[in-house]
Every structure is written in structure tokens, then in C-alpha cells.
Amino acid sequence: MSGSPHGVRGALNADGDCALVSAANDTIMTTAANRCFMLGLAHRRFREGYRIIRSVKTIVYTFESPATLAVATRLVGSGKVSAVILQRPMTTRAKLALLRRRLARHGFFRVVDELLFQAYYRIFLRRSDDRLRKLLEFDATDARGALAKRVDVFDVDSLNSPESQELLRRLAPDLVVMASRELIRPDVLKLARLGFIGCHPGILPDFRGAYASFWAMYEGRPDKIGLSVYLATAGIDTGPLVAERVVSPRFGVQHFKVESERLILEGTTELLGAIEQAGRGALKTYTKAGAAGPLYSLVGLTDYFKAARR
């Protein structure tokens, strides 16, 4: 504080407290003290707010793919993430168990249609997709190794397992950013103080489930291509929204997988915004009026040909 004509000066010491020197009367002294008190209070509030933002502990839970590792790398690079948990690749036994569950839920003919598309994709589409992925600037170096140089990296089979829950309790995160292959159980979601958030490559709640951008193109709704950051709940893509953005499609329906990966990368901006918001004490969420859209499945060969002809 600058000096006064009456020789009264106020200043903040290193702790943000007020040091007052006076050579005048009590009235001037009181005025200067009030001014100095307010300045000191503002300074302490600034420091406290700064500590709140810095003290929110955020971890990432994801699996190893070029897109998900690229997102994890960008989040870790921001300095806002303290650890990464990676889900191990599925074993043959786990894949067979998943296949049995899908047969029970969707039926034989639907699952066969999906398997036929996967075969078609590997033969006719994957090579061109790999060329397009270079435009997304995935880091071709050892992404996992780069992450491990900056933060702790852990490997788990499932975040729902007792061992993984113990790991979460030990890490004690305030917020978990997830991009996982599994549905996280409600009791596990509670292990993060502020919850789990995810970035869905589609506009919620209209297009839930796998490859939302494909289904938006399939339904003739390019206005529903985009991304949504949401707070995870017990359902699939049913939680309240934190942020969303409509994004014009860059690749055609033939390259919907690359389009989905692009949207996941685009969502890093919204995820970082959500982390900063959490640092201010809470996540602001909202819901939309109306019922949620259907839960879309994996793409089948007949679905792909129908969409490609449009």
C-alpha cells in the first residue's frame, strides 16, 4: 500500500498478513488498518483458492489404443493428472465370455452380422483407416513409456475387481477421467469424491452406445455428430452432462472408426475444462428434457452397407 500524507503505511508481509506503521491519529490508523485488512483478506482468499485448484487429485482410467493413449498423454501433459490406470488387453477367455453375453442379449443373427462386419473391415477398410489416422497426429512413439516418465502407471484387469478397488482407495482420487471397455459398478464410482467423467464421441442422450457418429450418419442426423462429457452413473451413457459440442464430420461413413477417434481427441479440451471446474470445488452438470435415445450396438455388415448407400 502506498504511503499517505499523514505518514501511515500498510503492507502485506510474506504470509499475506498486514503490517501497519503509523505516525498519525487513531482515525487515520483505523482507515489504514481497514484497507490493509481487506487487502490481506483478498490475498489469503487468492492463496486458498489457488490451493483448492492445485489440490484436486485427478487420475485417468483407460485402455491401450492409439486414441485413448493420445488422450491420456495430452491430459498428463497438462500437469493436471497424477496417475494413469490401464486396463489390460482382454484375454481369450474374457473375449469368449463377452461373446456369450452378447449372444444372450442380442441374439445369434445380430451378433453374426457384427462379426461379418469385423471381417469385412479387416479385409477392405482397415488399411485406408490407418492412413487417415496419420492425419490425427497420434504419437507413434512409446506412449505408455512416455506416460510412465511423468506419472505413476498401473495395470489392472478390471476396475471392478477387489484389487483395483483397493488401488483406488490408496490413490484417493477426487476425480477419475475414464475411457474404459467396461461398465463401472456404482460402488466403485463412489470411490472418487467428485465422481467419474467420460467423453462420449456422440451427442447425448440422443446417441448412446458404440460408434455414435456412425449411427448419427446412419439416421441422417449430422447435427448430432459431436462429443459429450458426462458424469458416469449406473447406466450406459445416461449420466448428467458436463459439456457438449457439435462437431462437423470430417470423414465419411466408410471411416466412422477414425471419425470416432477424432471426436475422442477433440474432447480433450472439454475434459480439461471439466478438471479445472472440479478444481473450483464441484462439477456443474445439467440434463436435457425428454427421454434418452436408444442404446446403439456395434455396427453390423448390413448396417454398414445401408449407411454407405445413402
Partner residues linked to 176 by β-bridges = 59, 196
Measured between alpha carbons, how far is 181 from 90 in angstroms, rounded to an integer? 10
Over residues 205-259, the pLDDT tens digits come to 999 999 999 999 999 999 999 999 999 999 999 999 999 999 999 999 999 999 9
Asked whether residue 165 carries a pLDDT value surpassing 80, the answer given is: yes
Asked whether residue 15 carries a pLDDT value surpassing 90, the answer given is: no
Measured between alpha carbons, how far is 245 from 202 in angstroms, rounded to an integer? 9
DSSP H or E run through 241? strand 241-246
Supply the pLDDT for residue 291.
84
Measured between alpha carbons, how far is 195 from 8 in angstroms, rounded to an integer? 51
**Identity of the residue numbered 77:** G
Sketch the domain layout of the chain as residue ranges: 9-54, 56-308
Asked whether residue 33 carries a pLDDT value surpassing 90, the answer given is: no
Cβ proximity of 287 and 242 under 8 Å: no
Over residues 100-129, the pLDDT tens digits come to 999 999 999 999 999 999 999 999 999 999
Measured between alpha carbons, how far is 33 from 18 in angstroms, rounded to an integer? 8
Backbone angles phi, psi at 231, to 5 degrees: -90, 120
CB neighbours of residue 40 within 10 Å: 19
Residue 114: partners with Cβ closer than 8 Å, 6 or more residues away: 102, 297, 298, 299, 300, 301
Fold of 56-308: Rossmann fold (3.40.50)
Asked whether residue 284 carries a pLDDT value surpassing 70, the answer given is: yes
Over residues 53-108, the pLDDT tens digits come to 447 999 999 999 999 999 999 999 999 999 999 999 999 999 999 999 999 999 99
Q: 140 falls in which pLDDT band (50, 70, 90)?
A: low
What's the rounded mean pLDDT across residues 131-160?
90
Asked whether residue 40 carries a pLDDT value surpassing 70, the answer given is: no
